[in-house]
Amino acid sequence: MNSVYSHARETYAEWGVDTESALAVLARIPLSVHCWQGDDLTGFENLGSTLDGGLAVTGRHPGKPRTPDELRADIELAFSLSPGPHRLSLHACYVDPRPVRADRDAYTADLFRSWIDWARARRIGLDFNPTFFSHPRAAEGLTLTHPDRATRRFWIDHGIACRRIGAEFGRQLGTACVTNVWIPDGSKDLPADRKAPRERLAESLDAIFAEPLDPRHSLDAVESKLFGLGSESYVAGSHEFYLGYAITRRKLYTLDAGHFHPTENLGDKISAILAFVPGLLLHVSRGVRWDSDHVPLFDDATRGLLEEVVRGGFLDRTHLGLDFFDGSINRIAAWVIGARAARKALLSALLEPRAKLQTAEQAGDFTTRLAWMEEAKTLPFAAVWDEFCLRQDAPAGASWLPPVKEYEKRILAQRR
């Protein structure tokens, strides 16, 4: 144990915080890293396909992976530079092997065999996401709410297929797969009928979730959104819609940090939502003025989000994941920055002197509560973070950046 960490441990102990306990908890919590940051959500169904469905990735940083093997190599580097246990979140468009001889409504786990084998070899779990965009049958930006019954049926069958794939991931890897449903459906301008699309959406979701699956292998989540490109005026799957759906159907509810108005306090929603739903999937992201999915930082918003999870004792009901994509910077570095920021925020929450704060609060001494909250911000957090990195065989401080730069010169620069 180095002297810097020893001093930090003693300092935190004076505040009633056991750093060893915090490090032990942090080392047990997996972070689900999203595959799509690596290639701007292109996937491998049809190389060169155009991203749509209200989604957009800006930037053309060189070195984008062209094959599943290249993407997996990039992910492995990001994992090695990000301390703590990981999972990988896949989108359905990342099928492998190719070429794909089935359409999305008939996908099976066999199309993800290489991902299963890869995950098993690394002893990590997989999470899954149906891809309700970038497809000819989603060209109008409508899927589960489409007024055409046949189109709606196609996307229902895609959702059913994806739940079965997720369950197979969970069965083979021995850890439950969270299958998260998000759709882009909405309206660019003011709709005359907000009710009918939501009625069709509820009916479609009920059909997707009708088949009971073993919760040891499969967990279902639904994700809302404020708006998107092409759905600026109306989104069928709004926060209110999916919150009601998750409560009445007992599903996990997905809170994406970029899917709400910038002035909303996302952390404030956690204890309210978890009073009524079985669990949460948190997508750690960073919205800038709109749902831009910027790389998350160790900022007040991210810290506040994880503080509420820890303060409420919700860790066992919360699944942590990332969701952002930025092609303007080195994509591997974006993964590492975001993953380390999320885990820093979680460690910061675990190191908060909650007992002291709650004691002051329960005594009605709000002056002391506020004073201690402020003073706790300058406790020697960095020394505890560096200790965690070293124990996890990951680089401490900024020493993770040179390996990324070297990989960029040696590997990424060769991709054309």
Q: Which residues are catalytic?
A: 182, 223, 225, 256, 259, 283, 291, 293, 323
Q: Give the residue from 224, 286, 237 showing the smallest Cα distance to 258.
A: 286
Which pair of structure tokens corresponds to residue 379?
Answer: 């406790």
For the chain, how big is the Rg over CA atoms in Å? 22
Pairing of strands 280-284, 318-322: parallel
Q: Are 235 and 226 in contact (CB under 8 A)?
A: yes
Which pair of structure tokens corresponds to residue 221?
Answer: 């989540």
DSSP secondary structure string, 311-345? Answer: HTT-GGGEEEEE----SSS-HHHHHHHHHHHHHHH
Phi–psi pair at 187, nearest 5 degrees:
-140, 135
Measured CA to CA, the distance from residue 129 to residue 299 in angstroms comes to: 27
Which pair of structure tokens corresponds to residue 395?
Answer: 């680089």
Measured CA to CA, the distance from residue 166 to residue 392 in angstroms comes to: 29
Residues in CB range of 112: below 8 A, 6 or more apart: 90, 94, 95, 96, 165, 169
Measured CA to CA, the distance from residue 105 to residue 108 in angstroms comes to: 9
